Structure 1
Amino acid sequence: MNKTLLVIALLGMSASVYAGDAHVCGSPEVKALSNNQKTLDDNTIFTCGGGVKGTIPELAKQGWKIVQVTDQMGTLSPTDPTKSTTYSSLIIQKD
């Protein structure tokens, strides 16, 4: 009986060690209305929750999968649209 409980406890602990992890990441903000707006590329650095940071290739090498990429409104200036900013957002996860 005690061995069975021990095996069940160890299996439960090993499953929690391999639980997935996910974070939201954001790129630096850029002006929304700019002719020379920087586009999302392999050099864009993302800052994520949990202290994770890097470019898309660096995140992939660390084992992160990109689940979603979206553009977000950073700062909205209704009185002066040239001051409005946007940024890219990633959702990353590891299994």
Structure 2
Amino acid sequence: MPKKNSGQSLLIILLVTAVILTVGLAVASYSITDIRISQQEEESARAFSAAEAGIEEALKQRPATDEEFLVEVGEISAKVKPETQGGGNKFDFGGSKFP
């Protein structure tokens, strides 16, 4: 290869390397974002299941009166104040404690 063209080869190699690095970093960034979204969805599903279990437990333990009572599900406890409004039930979970 003539010396005149040797600078062009280096420039092409640098450009190709830059493109490959850019694509690699974009794929890595996309993968990291996807992993974070998956973790957040899993945590959200667990929180929803825990809340649903707490409500079910509160319905099972509900006393005949509308007095406040404590519900414990696993390591989580909450004070529950049931109220009847318009033919339906309302539960106030005001004193929740999470580990």
What TM-score results when the alignment is normalised by the length of structure 2?
Answer: 0.37
Q: Tell me which protein shows more strand as a share of its residues.
A: 1
Which of 1 and 2 has higher RCO (CA within 8 Å, sep 6+)? 1
What TM-score results when the alignment is normalised by the length of structure 1?
Answer: 0.38
